[in-house]
Structure 1
């Protein structure tokens, strides 16, 4: 029989992992005061130095906030659940992209900043999803989404050149109503969407753009959007900081 897999991480990291789970699950609610160092030393049978290291990890990751002379508290905002299905359909004519309107419903300020619009050789998995020829190129639209002025997602969307060239997709400006509205206007309505969700360490680009603290991983969503006859019209690589967001899905059976 294989030997049990032992957690050999330093105790401070294991303690931080336990508290991180309590915070992200909501068991420790925003604003809750963390037990005193004395209580934590007794609970984990360890030293004050180890407890301080564990708490500092979570402060660096912005899960905990210290108040001098008062104590340590759970951060004031909860992890936010994002439901991608809310953004599939195009908005009503004249309305903003649904990602922005959903932010408004949550009393948040949403905005996008364009980073680049150019022809690009996409990653292999994107090229396969778009059914491109070997070494084929696609149109890349890269941008950052902000919620209340905090970076919330890094988005890289790829489009077949025969579909995108000469259209507003190739324009560096933001698209009113977002790409779903424009694609529908162009005769490519969204019919379905496939998402693959993973977690991994951040790249340097993601670390800097999303202001990732310490070793917090990112949530990666690989999304394929299909139109009529299952034609792939958009492939998006989306990354979000996992200490602030969770992905939610509602499935009807």
Structure 2
């Protein structure tokens, strides 16, 4: 499992590189949470919601602290890497940024201004989602959006409901989520937003920026995924 290797690698590096030990151990905990998430979703025995939320809140707080220290911006960009068949989460140092051409995980250290690069929580969820697909996602953005929200609610049961509006010509999709799991969805790389952003990035083969805010209407949260629509 990729996340398992990631957790072991960063924990081992934490032992060797004392100057970044705290960051590496925190990132190792991130990988372990991803494993716990997948195992929890596959298990027949239900984990109490309060326990799941508490575990994720700690992980999200650690990641957010690391992002503030290493990167600094509020940008959350999910970038596909077709050569390695994966999507990585990029937090740039400022809003004016260039995506690293050859990113490494957990982060690139060749340039101190690179920012933070992580394996997103939604990566393993998306891999699991792909194995459960019974049909092709197709080329349409709307079809992709509906498939992802359907997986979010029916397959993973991460939310009670999710309604999507798509504006292909603007390169934007907004998903209204009700009664989501793992606490507030605006936490760093929350599984719900992360899964959707990874899905759009992989499905559209282009970087996707994620923004999450309280809905204020009939839903709890409004999740917006945006991308460059020029080649959609």
TM-score range, shorter chain: under 0.3
Structure with more helix by fraction: 2
Larger C-alpha radius of gyration, 1 or 2? 1
